[in-house]
A = this chain, B = another copy of it.
């Protein structure tokens, strides 16, 4: 059985929305599942660069412009949110809490949060902001209210961050396919070609 594609994703990155739309068709084409692993990218940056990591302001401006253009050129819904970046810890921990009992629902939740935040520009930080999306998926109020302090969810979140670092992650989205690392939504096309080459070999 072929291994799933590991997909390390940070809610606060505009490229998360693009990658979320582009990775699944490529994975399906090659008979692969996708393992969604929300990470806290600041944790990764701190491990790689220490506390003082900062992008040049001109690069941050470019990144948003580039993501908006990338989404438009590839038909991905995109609306720049007013608040960026956000502290997405509640969404991450709710994902890991739900994943224990219902992995498919957890993935549906990530996609819905990304669509709301990056597809419609709605801030997705607090329980109140996340609640309509969670409710629509049948997630309970108890899950919503206890996710942030859920110790098992925090441990799973940390494990994903540490696994990402161990796999060579220094930015997100980050993919690992059969041990091979790919960084960026723009590398999904490379994953497609790379997997096609392995099948041919």
Q: Enumerate chain A interface residues (CB-CB to B < 8 A).
A: 48-49, 56, 58-59, 61-62, 65-66, 69-70, 73-74, 168, 170-171, 181-184, 186-187, 189-190, 193-194, 197
Contacts and interface: CB of A to CB of B under 8 A. Distances in A.
Interface centre among A65, A69, A189 (most CB of B within 10 A): A69
21 contacts: A48-B56, A48-B58, A48-B59, A49-B56, A56-B170, A58-B168, A59-B170, A59-B171, A61-B168, A62-B170, A62-B183, A65-B181, A66-B182, A66-B183, A66-B187, A70-B190, A73-B190, A73-B193, A74-B193, A186-B186, A189-B189
Given A58-B170, A61-B168, A62-B168, 18 more contacts: A48-B56, A48-B58, A49-B56, A56-B170, A59-B170, A62-B170, A62-B181, A62-B183, A66-B187, A69-B190, A69-B194, A70-B190, A73-B190, A73-B194, A184-B186, A186-B186, A186-B187, A189-B189
A23 to B, nearest CB: 16
A46 to B, nearest CB: 11
A59 B190 CA distance: 18
